[in-house]
Amino acid sequence: MAGALKTALNRVAIAIVLAALGGLGWLILRSDQYVIDAKEEEWRALHQSLHYHAKHKSITASDAAIYVSEEGMRQAVNLINGTKIIYKESVRSSDYLEIEIKYFDPSFKSGFPSGKIRISANSPSKKIRIDLEGEATLIFSDFSRHKDGRTIAKFSVRILRLKPDLGWSIFRISVRGFASDLIARGIAVSYAEKLQVAIPLPEVKFDIERTMLPKVPVREPKDANWIDLELKLSGPQERFGVSYSYPRFIDGGLWLSATERAEGQAELPKFERGSPPASQLDTEIAEARKSLAAVARPVVPQGAHFLLWVNGRAFESGIGRIAALPPNQRTVAIRSKAVSGHLAETKWFNKILGKGGTVVDLYGVNAIKGSLLVSSIAAQWSENGLKFQGQVQASGNATIKLHVDPLVGGGASTVVQMDLETANIDASGSAQLSSVAIGQRRLWAAFPTIECRPAVLTARTDGKLKFDWGWTKVLSVGAKISLPGLAGFVQPVPLLTDRPFVVRGRIDGRKAVPINGTDFQALPAWEVAEFALIPGQASMTRDGIAVSGQFAARTRRIESTEQEQQRTMEADKEEEDLKRAFAEQYRTPECPGQMEIAVLLGNTEFGTNNDFIKLAKNAWNDLTKGPGGKNEAVRIMKAANDAASAAGEALDDTAKRAIAEAEGLANRTFGPNSEAARIARQLAQSIFPQPAPSASLPMPSPPLPPWIPPPPRPPLTPIFDVRRPRLPRF
């Protein structure tokens, strides 16, 4: 009896176990699995790549290309781990679903990025949380432009296979139903695939604006006679605009080829994958992989996270575009900012005036205005770098003041414009590109050099300069500008820095971030992520240049809004400090010698005694009304008397009247017994022995004030001879 009972109980136990196992199998089937054919997704990705590959069979033939390694991609993908996806319309409801990406680690070894994924689904209202696991891949979505202008490549998570990991919760009907809904209705998949992985792409850009402030000596001593010039090139920041293709998954990473395009990213062509028979998938996938593996591409250094390739052809066209810029963006504006001493000074001797000098000065500190226009430029790439040649057109003018001393009183001056003869200066040079370190920062830069070809520019006034008194002339004023070369006019240019690209994972403090184009929100485990592309070694070939480096990503918490704004300001300042430190540390050597400006004067000529006597008369009132006027008047009258006695030349009627008037003025101004009156009387007697001019010339003598108001003087403007003399050679 006991044996029979034991046997019966064993049979019941076995039946219960079998029933439980059967129920478990049913529950597993009831829970369902989400499965799509991974081969179809791989076939699609490969043929998207081949669509571009059909036209561009070589990556090195592209204008530009970017490679991101598996390790570099992993750093970006890891940032989605711990991210929660929420349907935003249900956030205020007590019944909402939250999907969290617990783990995703794709591998590129097979040429198709796929790997294990684990997600968690949570329903607070139902108090249910379950895990799901499976396999997922990265599918390229699109390119977008960040607010700072940088291009971002976006990849979506595509679920290939997903099933619930229920564990002992499989016996809970509510859990089983929840899991079944997540799978059967595609809720979990829909949530997970809203998440995107963003890869910031390196951007090559440079500032056109340049300013130089050379101090130019003009004569000895050079420390006392100089001009400070400002040479300024204005223009917007230039970017190397490109349009990227579909990615190609090869070399254990992905390649993005690009075509130069000023407008930036173009819309990618739609790709129709058709419906290949399942039996052909394996064959077509193998053929596609073989075709992509044969693509010619730059060699990626071991351990590099990224590689930037730029075709030499792109540099050539980039230099060529300079000639197409508006003239103001390829013109160096020149002006004087400060001046010291004289531009030129000469000494002379005249038998009437004695010793004197002629001086040339700038008429104001901003008197020099000129320009250097890049009129033509072209470039050619080689394995040694970029070589270019072009022509620079120089033009300008300067307003100068010419002063001859002593002449009469304080001397005589005139203001005139001196024009630079338009000159075309040939220029040629080369540019090397390499990565350099500035403190703890790294950047990639272009180092241009221009061959030192001395150039001489000339400027001159047109014809003889005549002073208002009509008695003194300076044959010509000219300038010779000596340039040892144009090397100093170009300086190294930073093209790519390691400044982090900042992505905020929260808004308004701690709120989730809307997922663009969807009704979902993402709440990453981090608050701020920073990506940095750190330039490393560069290598040049006859086709172009490749710059490799490291990809660094890190996360941090959000501080207060004020502190975040302060961080941004500090980052901007740090970037400017980096460029300033780079400019100071890496400066193009100047050509041997120094830029100089030499102002040359022609001979100073003087008129006849008749002209001089008239000049003395016209200046008389100025001389007699100022301090020391008597002595100056005596000097001039004595010089006139000596000249008239020694020259023996006939005086015209105007000169005779001037002498007679001078005698009367001397008598009335200084008194009949003054030295000036005595000399004037001697001068009159030497010209008219009998009778004295004052007794014979009808000159009224009305009462005069103690000072004689000066006659109106004409403006100091130059008068040019019709005849053009032969100018001295400079």
Confidence at residue 339, expressed as pLDDT on a 0 to 100 scale = 92
Is 548 within a domain?
no
d(CA 452, CA 42): 58
What is the average per-residue pLDDT within 89-93? 51
Long-range contacts of 431-436 (CB under 8 A, 24+ apart): 431/315, 431/385, 431/386, 431/388, 432/385, 433/385, 433/386, 433/495, 433/538, 433/540, 433/545, 433/547, 434/538, 435/535, 435/536, 435/537, 435/538, 435/547, 435/549, 436/582, 436/586
State the burial class of residue 69 (Cβ atoms within 10 Å of its Cβ: 0-12, 13-18, 19+): buried
d(CA 609, CA 639): 10
Res. 393 pLDDT band, cuts 50 70 90: very high
What is the average per-residue pLDDT within 555-584? 81
Confidence at residue 20, expressed as pLDDT on a 0 to 100 scale = 29
Q: What would the pLDDT profile of 323-355 be if each residue is shown by its tens digit?
A: 888 888 889 999 999 999 988 887 776 655 567
d(CA 191, CA 85): 6
Residue 77, H or E segment: helix 70-77
What is the average per-residue pLDDT within 690-716? 36
Confidence at residue 29, expressed as pLDDT on a 0 to 100 scale = 35
What is the average per-residue pLDDT within 223-247? 83
Q: Is residue 621's pLDDT more than 90?
A: no
Q: Is residue 693's pLDDT more than 60?
A: no
216: which 2 tokens? Answer: 């130019």
Q: Is residue 168's pLDDT more than 70?
A: no
Res. 77 pLDDT band, cuts 50 70 90: confident
d(CA 486, CA 429): 10
What string of H, E and C letters represents the secondary structure of 372-411?
A: EEEEEEEEEEECCEEEEEEEEEEEEEEEEEEEEECCCCCC
More confident residue, 564 or 621: 564
Q: Return the number of other C-beta atoms located less than 10 Å from residue 207's C-beta.
A: 13
Q: What would the pLDDT profile of 586-618 be if each residue is shown by its tens digit?
A: 888 888 887 888 876 655 554 444 444 444 444
Res. 48 pLDDT band, cuts 50 70 90: confident
Q: How far is CA 593 from the centre of its chain?
A: 28
State the burial class of residue 576 (Cβ atoms within 10 Å of its Cβ: 0-12, 13-18, 19+): exposed
255, 299 Cβ separation under 8 angstroms: no
Which residues, in sequence order, are CB contacts of 370 under 8 Å at separation 6+? Answer: 333, 334, 335, 394, 395, 396, 397, 420
Res. 430 pLDDT band, cuts 50 70 90: very high
Q: How far is CA 337 from the centre of its chain?
A: 23
* Same domain, yes or no: 488 and 633: no
Q: What's the start-to-end Cα distance of the chain, in Å?
A: 138
- Global pTM value: 0.68
DSSP 137-184: EEEEEEEEE-TTS-EEEEEEEEEEEEEEE-GGGGG-HHHHHHHHHHHH
* Same domain, yes or no: 360 and 423: yes
> Is residue 420 helix, strand or coil?
strand
Res. 720 pLDDT band, cuts 50 70 90: very low
Is 342 within a domain?
yes
Of the three residues 572, 601, 630, the one that is the final residue of a domain is: 601
Which residues, in sequence order, are CB contacts of 565 under 8 Å at separation 6+? Answer: none
pLDDT above 70 covers a percentage of the chain that reads 64
Q: Is residue 380's pLDDT more than 90?
A: yes
* Same domain, yes or no: 377 and 474: yes
Confidence at residue 659, expressed as pLDDT on a 0 to 100 scale = 63
Confidence at residue 670, expressed as pLDDT on a 0 to 100 scale = 58
Confidence at residue 254, expressed as pLDDT on a 0 to 100 scale = 86
Q: Is residue 424's pLDDT more than 70?
A: yes
Q: What would the pLDDT profile of 109-132 be if each residue is shown by its tens digit?
A: 766 788 898 888 887 766 777 788
Residue 519, H or E segment: none
In the DSSP assignment, the letter for residue 471 is S
Res. 52 pLDDT band, cuts 50 70 90: low
Is 555 within a domain?
no
- Indicate the Cα dihedral angle 351, 353, 354, 359, nearest 10°: -130
* Same domain, yes or no: 225 and 374: yes
pLDDT above 90 covers a percentage of the chain that reads 7
Q: Which of 639, 637, 643, 645 is nearest to 661 (CA)?
A: 637
Q: Is residue 151's pLDDT more than 80?
A: yes
Is 563 within a domain?
no
Is 211 within a domain?
yes
d(CA 663, CA 524): 105
Confidence at residue 338, expressed as pLDDT on a 0 to 100 scale = 92
d(CA 343, CA 328): 30
Bridge partners (DSSP) listed for residue 461: none
Which residues, in sequence order, are CB contacts of 708 under 8 Å at separation 6+? Answer: 620, 621, 624, 625, 665, 669
Confidence at residue 617, expressed as pLDDT on a 0 to 100 scale = 45
* Same domain, yes or no: 463 and 438: yes
Confidence at residue 554, expressed as pLDDT on a 0 to 100 scale = 86
* Same domain, yes or no: 475 and 620: no
More confident residue, 481 or 616: 481
Is 285 within a domain?
no
* Same domain, yes or no: 590 and 648: no
40: which 2 tokens? Answer: 């179809």
Q: Is residue 41's pLDDT more than 90?
A: no
What is the average per-residue pLDDT within 249-263? 84
* Same domain, yes or no: 591 and 663: no
Backbone phi, psi, residue 112, to 5°: -135, 115
d(CA 417, CA 407): 23
Confidence at residue 704, expressed as pLDDT on a 0 to 100 scale = 34
Res. 544 pLDDT band, cuts 50 70 90: very high
Res. 164 pLDDT band, cuts 50 70 90: confident
Q: Is residue 375's pLDDT more than 60?
A: yes
* Same domain, yes or no: 393 and 425: yes
Q: Is residue 255's pLDDT more than 70?
A: yes
* Same domain, yes or no: 656 and 676: yes
**Most confident stretch, 7-16, 463-472, 655-664, 706-715:** 655-664
Confidence at residue 514, expressed as pLDDT on a 0 to 100 scale = 76
Confidence at residue 522, expressed as pLDDT on a 0 to 100 scale = 83
Is 516 within a domain?
no
- Any idea which of 258-262, 477-481, 661-665 has the lowest mean pLDDT? 661-665
211: which 2 tokens? Answer: 């300013």
Backbone phi, psi, residue 518, to 5°: -135, 175
* Same domain, yes or no: 430 and 448: yes
Q: What would the pLDDT profile of 506-515 be if each residue is shown by its tens digit?
A: 776 667 777 7
* Same domain, yes or no: 613 and 593: no
Confidence at residue 615, expressed as pLDDT on a 0 to 100 scale = 44
Residue 676 domain boundaries: 608-696
d(CA 213, CA 231): 6
29, 170 Cβ separation under 8 angstroms: no
In the DSSP assignment, the letter for residue 488 is G
CA 54, 60, 65, 68 torsion-angle sign? positive
Q: What would the pLDDT profile of 285-305 be if each residue is shown by its tens digit?
A: 888 888 888 888 888 998 999
Is 224 within a domain?
yes
- Indicate the Cα dihedral angle 180, 181, 182, 186, nearest 10°: 110
Average pLDDT, the chain: 72
- Please give the tally of structural domains in the chain: 3
